[in-house]
A and B are shown apart, each in its own frame.
Chain A
């Protein structure tokens, strides 16, 4: 199995690179911490689960309310306690969230480019980003109204006890899925979803939601700054709870995409040929669309609209490893994680913090041009 071997070799190498980037990034900041010490801190924090107890208050690095993880730590390196706190409480959540978001966006971008057979496709093409933006901006503009009038069927008015950040994320997530479903519903007729119609429906919905966002920004008043920050993409203030949710949501969705990698290859031939080769085209398209929308929504909900990762990273990897999705999908996803961690590190290590979207665009675009001009690397 030449393909499987290539996929595993590339993925292992890129996973190692991602781990390296994470460790180096965790040492960079106002307080410089050597990578060796970062590694010690991480190893000290590593836990071996020794049991799970439900109903407790929750403790440990993965603190979910109602669940207590009993664990023991196999390592006990001597480390500076300040360094430990900086790495574990401040930097690592943000870095791991960046890795997960980059991973999701690059995976979804790879799938969308294959799905639409269009190199300009990215995860936002089916309206996910615009929908997330409307949800988030709406919550930012009317935070109180939205969080108090939320009534659930059967249960009546429920105080969800959402923190401000969680509220933004939740509404962004819901907005993303509603927009994606809307685009799908507009483009589907008699059980068939022509890709070209889907693309145009995506453009139409994005345009409309863009108008909504502009209107909300006009009405925003004092919260305009926060809206702009969200729209440009941000990872600051990431919490372990966000990392935990993303870590639970992203891998299963990614596994679904990976299981469809070969179908995605065949789909590149065009729908009629794919059907002739035994692919249930409409069903495959539905699965790929729904999964991509979910995985993108999970990323965008926490980090805002971060452009270029989902567009450029799949391209870079396609030029390096070729178009076979069985290799491309895992490598692009891991590279997307590493890329976004690096970009976010650059964004926060300057004198004033930049929105990470600015960095991904500024760094990604020239590198992309470089690859386009020298497209030689292909086989390995």
Chain B
């Protein structure tokens, strides 16, 4: 009863003080707008003999969301922990807001950087509200109570992270996703110029993952900065202003997502084969990774249309083959994939049919190839019509190549590569009856 009254009062003051608070909460405004909020130079960290991070440079400007991507063990979390001083660096400097982190007390660091860990070690049943209130610790003296400003910051953070609904439930009773948002709310309540997030979406379903990233995006657009270690490359490409690719503790690439997330950078960093397409819904790079296949690169011409041919193109490109495509209608899934991968493709306007000229162009590409890859069984459930090349067209194009590999529509990636490799060496492929 008295508790409800207290909550109401807190909400009221929160609404009233919110605006004043934003303009007066010193940390954001005090920082020079031109200097980086976080500046990491030549950072090296090792655990025993293991070099976890090696000469990493990183500068985070106000208003930017930086994504740290890289394979497991690349040093993403280590970089984040070194920024807050949770682990000691062996070399290099970390500056927060211009001042060397090493010279700052834990309290001063906590007023400049707030961390959102992957999970919390908290196993005692504190109410969610109390956990968020702990974000105000760096502002409270030993004998201080929370004042209106603290209460406002807590309410604002809980509202932003969407945890008000379960504010009075125990932290041990909420779901993993809710827990993650509580930790985010706690970091927001710290009102620091910089947020550090360690895999903020790892334990979230797709809806909450997007909501969380959008929240971080909003916070950053409000003038703060954020560094997020992210596993999901598509998510990183979609929300980050800059992406830093880490591998083996070193920075492999650093720049805007569209520049950094190309197939070779991803392949190099993750030791995998990657196809970088485009997410049709967001227009941002969409990375699909495949396990490394170690095949000899060949010059291949793909004959086929639709999503199945697109899949074949993507997998062959990712494996390192030099691929061409045609004939396909403009806007066909295969044509889109080819365009994303910079693969030469012979296209015809939709519903125009295959004219002699484009057929000749396609035959020319096939002729220069080591083999033609024909996707789909003839005459079986394959789309045919005005805008799709007829079976005759397809055969005629494919026959221009030295060898022909035929793969079914639902061909598995490994089988595809095996069939191509077998045909190229002259052996008879399992899926390529000739």
Contacts and interface: CB of A to CB of B under 8 A. Distances in A.
A270 B121 contact: yes
A266 B134 contact: yes
Given A280-B105, A324-B130, A275 B120 contact: no
A260 B141 CA distance: 11
A275 B84 contact: yes
Contacts of A114: 124
B353 interface: no
Contact of B122 (A1, A268, A279, A322): A268
A270 B202 CA distance: 20
Interface in A1-35: 1-2, 4-5
Contacts of A268: 121-124, 126
Contacts of A322: 125-127
Contacts of B126: 265, 268, 322-324
A117 B121 contact: yes
A277 B138 contact: yes
A269 B121 contact: yes
A278 interface: yes
B395 to A, nearest CB: 65
Given A260-B142, A279-B137, A322-B127, 18 more contacts: A259-B143, A265-B134, A266-B134, A268-B122, A268-B126, A270-B122, A272-B117, A273-B117, A275-B110, A276-B109, A276-B115, A277-B134, A277-B138, A278-B106, A278-B108, A278-B110, A280-B105, A323-B126
A30 B104 CA distance: 65
B6 to A, nearest CB: 5
Contacts of B127: 322
A324 B115 CA distance: 23
B171 to A, nearest CB: 10
Interface string B131-154: 100110110101101100000000
A276 B145 contact: no
A277 B6 contact: no
B140 A262 contact: yes
A281 interface: yes
A278 B114 CA distance: 10
Nearest to B130: A324
Interface string B6-42: 1000000000000000000000000000000000000
A1 B145 contact: yes
Nearest to B196: A276
B76 interface: no
Given A277-B138, A280-B107, A323 B124 contact: yes
27 contacts: A1-B145, A259-B142, A259-B143, A262-B140, A265-B130, A265-B134, A266-B137, A270-B120, A270-B121, A270-B122, A272-B117, A273-B115, A273-B120, A275-B84, A276-B84, A276-B110, A276-B114, A277-B135, A277-B186, A278-B110, A278-B111, A278-B137, A279-B137, A318-B124, A322-B126, A322-B127, A323-B124
